Amino acid sequence: MSRKGNMLIQVVVMLFFLGIISISFLPILISSINNFKRIKLQNEMIYIGEMVVEKIKAKDESIISNFSNIKSDMSYEDEDFDTDKFKCNIYRIRSNSDLLEFLVRVENKHGKIQIVEFKASIPNT
């Protein structure tokens, strides 16, 4: 009879220690999941910024036709990325007869504000 009671106490103590261990690791697990989501979002923003810069360098007509008419900045939306989630702006920094310098800024529209910026230049034609 005492053996059954002893086993019950051992199981309760084991569950207690298992609960303490799981409670101590829960914040670490939650913060790592949030960091993975943040890194995934930042990688998407980097991809969008690089895509826009490459389209400008490749002289894609959808961007260049609008980009040559602007004075200082332009908002850019494309079907290649989620425009509900991200906002992409192109800013003209400097333009002379030889070189056109611009800045591509990608912002997260929801949640904590994250910004990724790319500065590039192309020959002015």
Distance CA 28, CA 4 (A): 37
48 pLDDT higher than 70 = yes
One-letter amino acid of 46: I
DSSP 12-60: HHHHHHHHHHHHHHHHHHHHHHHHHHHHHHHHHHHHHHHHHHHHHHTT-
In total, how many domains does the chain have? 1
**pLDDT by residue (tens digit) across 66-89?**
665 555 666 777 767 777 888 888
In whole angstroms, what separates CA 76 from the centre of its chain? 17
72 lies in which domain range? 2-123
**pLDDT by residue (tens digit) across 7-45?**
888 899 999 999 999 899 999 999 999 999 989 989 988
- Closest listed residue to residue 123, CA positions, set 104, 105, 89, 97: 97
pTM beyond cutoff 0.85? no
Give me the residues paired with residue 74 across strands.
Answer: 90
Give residue 108's pLDDT. 86
